[in-house]
Amino acid sequence: MNNTNQPENTKLLEEVNPVFTTAQVCLLVMAEAGDPDANQLGSMLGFDRGISMVDKDELTEMEKFQKMKAIPGFMTTIEARFTASSNLFLHSGLRNILDLPCGYTPRGLQFARRGIPYYGFDLPAVIQVMDGACHRLYQGNTPMCYHKADATNYESLRSALDGVSGELFITTEGLLMYLTQSELEVVFRNIYRLLEEFGGIWVTTDNSIVSAQQSVMQAISEEKEIPSLELKKPTPENVFFDPQQAEQFVAKMGFSLEKIPVYEYLPDHLHTLADYSINVQNKAKEAFRNIYFWIMRAEEGAAAEYTDAQNTFRMHISRQGQTLYLTLQGRVDTLTAPELLSLYRNENEKHACRFVEIDLRDLDYISSAGLRVLLIMVKDRPKNGTVTVTHLKPQVRSVLETSGFIQLFSIKDDLQ
């Protein structure tokens, strides 16, 4: 798939995939934890001066970060996750690290300087800036590759691995808890296929990040009053918030599971704990004895049933009277949703129609990014306006139903 044609307008991407902005906070935390590369990268990308992006609470990432700083459990969890995952890779004996999603962390620089090939995968708007910035900071011979990819889009992952040989160490830090159930299934299927072909392991702590934050905060609260924090589940129906359900899901998707305490790979010092007594530092670190890396391997012949969606996206837009007609074809995911939003906006700005009718007979897959665009269309409608979706395939209907979005639309002519 050629991602270079995708619109890379950051603002649009932010609208369709709010997870995208969280990575900036992670980089600021690593800079705060004294990581010199994170510091340099943060300044280069302008994150230290605060950035223009705002979330729905109208806070800039810098303001969000200032709030996070008051919550040491959060800072320590990010530092622990980043450093321990890097250490686990270094001990794994595997050759290729595939960081999905890589966000803005300085891991690529740090590994390439040590002669370790690095492959960072993330959405186009992240990769666009990371690729340029990191290659300005490192010009050596070790491959340090940044690829535009959507974890739900197999082709975007696989095509980036052309020419790579040897087993993969795929690390996922800060993604799975944000995905909807249907996205999780697709991502698991995609990683299964990569591991089936290349061999190797998939490692994550995304199953336990909330309990890690709570345990660290409990240790610190002996010494410091911690502001109360509502730890919200980013995606309510996500199985990763229930350890038992998550384990069943991993097995159902064809993976074996091994758990290793994060504690075993922590560095001697966690800088974000430096202001606390040795006693509290030790207790906070001890919390990571009960927080696990999940090491997943593709079990031979155990792939879950799944039919791949067509790896194309096309749309057609036209207007008749008060109705805007759209037809969508192929996949609407985080890579293609910004294009859909942009085309819709252009047309809607020329003439705000009261009604929108979207023909989905050739739509194979829609991710939460695509659903957000449909939601924007609903919100844009003037009084008494409606959005009608027609000719839903069963798999698309199921996504609309589980997400609750189905109630927002009039439905016409389902396909069987």
Binding region for ligand SAM (CB under 6 A): 17, 19-20, 22-23, 26, 101-103, 105, 122-123, 126, 149-152, 173-175, 334
User: CB count, 10 Å around CB of 413?
Assistant: 12
Note whether 3 and 338 are within 8 A (CB). Answer: no
- Closest approach of ligand SAM to the CB of residue 46, in Å: 16
Peptide bond into 236 cis (omega under 30): no
- Closest approach of ligand SAM to the CB of residue 384, in Å: 35
User: CB count, 10 Å around CB of 326?
Assistant: 21
- Residue 174 φ then ψ, to 5°: 90, 45
- Closest approach of ligand SAM to the CB of residue 135, in Å: 18
**Residue 324 or residue 337: which is nearer to ligand SAM going by CB?**
337
**Residue 137 or residue 302: which is nearer to ligand SAM going by CB?**
137
- Closest approach of ligand SAM to the CB of residue 78, in Å: 7
- Closest approach of ligand SAM to the CB of residue 381, in Å: 27
∠ Cα 303 198 301 (to 5°): 25
**Residue 10 or residue 215: which is nearer to ligand SAM going by CB?**
10
Residue pointed to by tokens 């691995």? 161
Cα distance between residue 193 and residue 233, in whole Å: 29
Cα distance between residue 243 and residue 204, in whole Å: 13
Residues in the chain: 416
**Residue 109 or residue 175: which is nearer to ligand SAM going by CB?**
175
- Closest approach of ligand SAM to the CB of residue 151, in Å: 4
**Residue 183 or residue 357: which is nearer to ligand SAM going by CB?**
183
∠ Cα 335 42 73 (to 5°): 90
Note whether 83 and 171 are within 8 A (CB). Answer: no
**Residue 174 or residue 200: which is nearer to ligand SAM going by CB?**
174
